[in-house]
Structure 1
């Protein structure tokens, strides 16, 4: 294995570093997205219960205890509950746009790695081939085939390395992008539910006040 890496030359080392970076991003994003999905399911149930009972301060306290894009949006929605519904939706839409980067963190880097890894492999192929032809140009006919082995090995190994890194990274990149889009859609649906709950509660309160008068 060590010989394989050494024969790949410096470009293979770059590809390996990129693969390690990709692994770190993938693991971190998988754990993060899994955690917020579980936490937000529980959070939404608690917030919904508090809103139905009209306990807005309790709902805000719950949001403060849970640091996530969803809790931030819920807090903003509750704090602006006295605003007209269309203004509430505009405020939450703008807030959601600000929270999206937290969910998409690292994905652009992952996409870049998936793109440049095979290109680096191709570059290694070119440099390895140039090295092999350099040996032929310098010595002419080579009686010892091992003299060409270094260049040929570098050419082949870097190509394989680039493809081996790119394929799984592309798979995980697409999976994570789809997962983020799903969470954003779920976030939008729950925010709409929040707005309806708040306005239904406000409507009921206003109706009660009118009847008292």
Structure 2
């Protein structure tokens, strides 16, 4: 197998490096996003405590969480407890949320780049291989047989196959990871929105009393 791949020339070596980078980034991102949407039961308990007016207890509950949702919710609760203006607090939560999403999105663009470049490198290897094969055929001045030409062609096509093998997992992983980041972003907005709804409901109840 290794002997067959080495016949693809230096392009195969480049694709092997890209494949290693791709696999490493996929594993790193999976570990990075593990549990990013977890801890919902703890947040539900915090919402219930907030509704009952037990703000310190609610804040302590979300501070114990480790997900981006817990961190953004903790910042929102801390701001409300401190009595910050809603506009200023919203702006702070926006940049905190963007910061979390930027961290989670890191290296996904690299995976997309690998998925885009790999098939092009494979095609480049194929074109170079075909040029070499036909050059040998021309130098043989008709003495070359069909098996020699076929051998050169399949070695050239090998780089295209290798490029696709590297590109497909990278492109699919980048798409799935990007979708998960979007889900986390929506979940953060929902978490903060739910807290603000509870806060507004408490304020309305106090005014009516």
TM-score range, shorter chain: 0.7 to 0.9
Distance change (3 Å), C-alpha of 1:42 and 1:17: farther
Residue in 1 that maps onto 2:168: 167
Shift in Å, 1:17: 2.4
Matched, 1:58 2:57: yes
Residue in 1 that maps onto 2:12: 12
**In 1: Cα distance, 2:112 partner to 2:188 partner:** 24
Shift in Å, 1:113: 0.8
Residue in 2 that maps onto 1:124: 125
Between 99-108 and 58-67, the greater mean CA deviation after superposition: 58-67
**In 2: Cα distance, 1:175 partner to 1:142 partner:** 53
Question: TM-score, normalised to structure 1's length?
Answer: 0.81
Matched, 1:35 2:35: yes
Unaligned ranges ≥5, structure 2: none
Shift in Å, 1:65: 2.9
Residue in 1 that maps onto 2:101: 100
Matched-pair contact (CA < 8 Å) for 2:111–2:174: yes
Structure 1 vs Structure 2 CA RMSD: 2.7
Question: TM-score, normalised to structure 2's length?
Answer: 0.82
* Secondary structure at 1:54 match in 2: coil
* Secondary structure at 2:97 match in 1: helix
Shift in Å, 1:169: 2.5
Matched-pair contact (CA < 8 Å) for 1:117–1:162: yes
Between 107-116 and 132-141, the greater mean CA deviation after superposition: 132-141
Mapping 1:169-188, distance limit 5 Å? 169-188=170-189
Between 120-129 and 151-160, the greater mean CA deviation after superposition: 151-160
Matched, 1:49 2:31: no
* Secondary structure at 2:66 match in 1: coil
Distance change (3 Å), C-alpha of 1:166 and 1:79: same
Matched-pair contact (CA < 8 Å) for 2:122–2:164: yes
Unaligned ranges ≥5, structure 1: none
Mapping 1:62-77, distance limit 5 Å? 62-77=61-76
Count of aligned pairs between the two proteins? 207
Distance change (3 Å), C-alpha of 1:187 and 1:103: same
**In 2: Cα distance, 1:94 partner to 1:145 partner:** 65
Shift in Å, 1:137: 4.5
